[in-house]
Amino acid sequence: MDQVTVAQVAPVEKRSSFQFEFDSSNRILLVRFEGRLTDGLLKEFYQEAGKCWTATSPRAGIADYSWITGVDASSELIRRLANQEPTADVSGCPRLIVAPHNYAFGLARMFQIVGEPRRPLLSIVRTLDEAFEALGIRSPYFEPLD
């Protein structure tokens, strides 16, 4: 009898990505991250974030890390980004980071502490609902940005 060999295939992890969305009635810019959070992904995000902020002119922004599967971002890059001036005029606008996982929460707190002089209105929360509550919005409706 012939033996059938089954090749073991490692699971394919979805490519890391982010997607900007906008709630036009509440004027909230949301970015959702998915997959592994890497230095490359954060650098790419920073290049796009200022453009999206300027194009939508939001009253607040949310970065949602609920769907990340792990963090490969260096603390060195987090500190460097936190020390940079924001890529758009965000003065007076609250920004929130949603970080339900401890590994992302710690990096988010480091970013918040190091960057406080440049981002005094940045808060870290554990859930998207907490972010909506902090901004005083109900029933948000986000649509993807191109």
The whole-number pLDDT of residue 14 equals: 56
Q: Which CATH architecture has domain 17-144?
A: 2-Layer Sandwich (3.30)
pLDDT in tens, 43-91: 999 989 999 999 999 999 999 999 999 999 999 999 999 999 887 788 7
Mean pLDDT over each residue of the chain, to the nearest integer: 90
Amino acid at residue number 59: R
Measured between alpha carbons, how far is 69 from 13 in angstroms, rounded to an integer? 9
Q: Are 116 and 79 in contact (CB under 8 A)?
A: no
The whole-number pLDDT of residue 87 equals: 77
Instruction: Name the least confident of 7-11, 12-16, 57-61, 86-90.
Output: 7-11
Beta strands in the chain (DSSP E): 17-23, 28-38, 60-72, 95-98, 122-125, 143-144
User: Other CB atoms closer than 10 Å to residue 91's CB: what's the count?
Assistant: 10
Per-residue pLDDT, averaged over 12-25, amounts to 85
**Percent of the chain scoring above 90 in pLDDT:** 79
Q: Are 34 and 70 in contact (CB under 8 A)?
A: no
- CA distances 4 to 1, 7, 9, 10, Å, are 10, 10, 15, 19
Measured between alpha carbons, how far is 85 from 92 in angstroms, rounded to an integer? 14
> Cα 52 to chain center, whole Å?
13
